[in-house]
Amino acid sequence: MAQTHEHGDHSHPAAPMVEEISDFEILEIAVRELAIEKGLFTAEDHRKFTEWAEQIGPAGGSRLVAKAWVDPAFKARVLTDAVAACREIGIDWAEPTGQGTPSDYMELRVLEDTPTLHHVIVCTLCSCYPRPLLGHSPYWYRSPNYRRRLVRWPRHVLAEFGLILPPEVEIRVEDSNQKCRFMVLPLRPAGSENWTEEQLAEIVTRDCMIGVALPRPDRKADDVRPVHQASRPVGGEHHEPGSGP
Amino acid sequence: MSGKTGPDPAASNVSGAELSPIPLLDAIQDEGGTWEELAPRYGVANPDPPWKVSLYAIFECLSAGGALPSLERRHIEDRLGETLYGRTPDPERQLLALADTLLRRGILSEEDLARRMDAVRARHEGS
């Protein structure tokens, strides 16, 4: 399968893809086509859900955390019945259009960090993840490396993410499973006093809710990505990124 | 087979009787080629088969339209996953459970499904 893939002035080997159609793939297509013909749903419905499913992100989780930070009564509800509390921020785990996804069970527990206790979530068996709140899991969450090592050496693994916790902070690893999903409610950072819920939500990134990072008032999910300046720019002059050679 | 006869809210949506295998789905389960088997053969690193997102969209559509609510489907998957389709991993198992449910409820017939699978296979192999 050593095919190459052209990109104008260069080519590289194509990423490998399975070069056959399995019976399972054929079954999926056949079931879908027949369901559409029977009027159970339309091709347009299916396309919309597919498009939506591939773009869900962690914004719901960020809103949940921000609201819990500013509203103690809401936080209490989050900690006692997280699925119900999600509905208050517009996420219904049962209704697809409310961002619930069918691959998620209706059981969610939100784990509150304290100054002496830090939570981090993993799925040692596979890749269970609170998708209605956080979207799709990152690749490393599904990697055997993370899944196997986090439970044994949590402090070391967190340090590999750049999160170095003082020894007096206990680390608790929660293993997601088929029946229950978890999410971390991190500590609100100093320096975010008097912020609005919207401002707070911006600093609650996906990794903070998995537990491999802590929210910081100076870091947002949509920060401009760092750009490496060329060490030897063409013509010896500095060029702004995107300004062309 | 669990042989369970007590009240089980999850079971009521499948069938009260012991489930017998559906030949078409049983054959796919035995010979279908799961993603776990296919992906390493082609050096593919993606953990999910390309059709998984489409299957999940079918789930969404069926739930949104009321034909098969998500929670009910999950109970069915649990039950069938422990019985008829226990030797197949997800998402293939979820797909088998869905097809099984649509067949047992008479929404699809085994003949129609087999015929359509042949047509889909011919279409793809001809391309």
pLDDT for A239 equals: 52
Peptide bond into B47 cis (omega under 30): no
Closest by alpha carbon to B95, among B115, B81, B107?
A: B81
What stretch of H or E contains A14?
Answer: none
Using pLDDT thresholds of 50, 70 and 90, give the confidence band for residue B3: very low
Q: What is the pLDDT of residues A181-216, one digit of tens each?
A: 999 999 999 999 999 999 999 999 999 999 999 999
pLDDT at B7: 41
Contact A94 B47 (CB under 8 A): no
Q: Which domains does chain A have, with CATH numbers?
A: 23-55 (no CATH), 59-210 (3.90.330.10)
Q: For position B13, what pLDDT does the model report?
A: 47
Active-site residue A208, yes or no? no
Run of H or E residues at A7: strand A4-7
* Structure confidence at residue B5 (pLDDT): 40
pLDDT tens digit sequence for B47-85: 789 899 899 889 989 988 889 988 888 889 889 988 999
Of all residues in chain A, the percent with pLDDT exceeding 90 is 58
Higher pLDDT, B56 or B14: B56
CA-to-CA distance for B48 and A25, rounded, in angstroms? Answer: 12
Helix axes B92-104, B23-31, angle to 10 degrees: 170
The answer to whether the Cβ–Cβ distance between A25 and B49 falls below 8 Å is yes
Q: What percent of chain A has pLDDT over 70?
A: 83
Chain A residue set in contact with B, beta carbons under 8 Å: 1, 16-35, 38, 40-41, 45-47, 49-50, 53-54, 94-97, 100-103, 105-106, 127, 142
Q: Which positions in chain A touch B102 (Cβ < 8 Å)?
A: 31, 35
- Catalytic annotation on A86? no
pTM for this entry: 0.67
- Amino acid letter at B6? G
The ipTM value here is 0.87
Mean pLDDT computed over every residue of chain A: 86
Pick from B28, B50, B56: CB nearest A53 = B56
Give the residue among A150, A19, A101 at the shortest CA–CA distance from B91: A101
Give the Cβ contact number of residue A240 at 10 Å. Answer: 8
pLDDT at A70: 98
Three-state SS at A114 = strand
Question: Does B58 sit within 8 Å of A32, measured CB to CB?
Answer: yes
With vertex at residue A211, the alpha carbon angle to CA A113 and CA A94, rounded to the nearest 5 degrees, is: 90
Does A81 score more than 70 pLDDT?
yes
pLDDT at A106: 75
* Cβ-Cβ contacts under 8 Å, A96 against chain B: 60, 63-64, 70
Averaged over A110-122, what is the pLDDT?
98
Whether A127 is catalytic: yes
> What band does B12 get if pLDDT is binned at 50, 70 and 90?
very low
Task: Express each pLDDT in A2-38 by its tens digit.
Answer: 455 566 666 656 667 788 889 999 999 999 999 999 9
Contact B51 A45 (CB under 8 A): no
Please tell me the distance from the alpha carbon of residue B61 to that of residue A96, in angstroms, as a whole number. Answer: 8
- A29 to B51: CB separation less than 8 angstroms, yes or no: yes
Chain B residue numbers touching A47 (CB-CB < 8 A): 57
- pLDDT for A15 equals 66
pLDDT of amino acid B6: 39
Q: What is the pLDDT of residues A160-181, one digit of tens each?
A: 999 999 999 999 999 987 778 9
pLDDT band of residue A101 (cuts 50, 70, 90) is: low
Known catalytic membership, residue A176: no
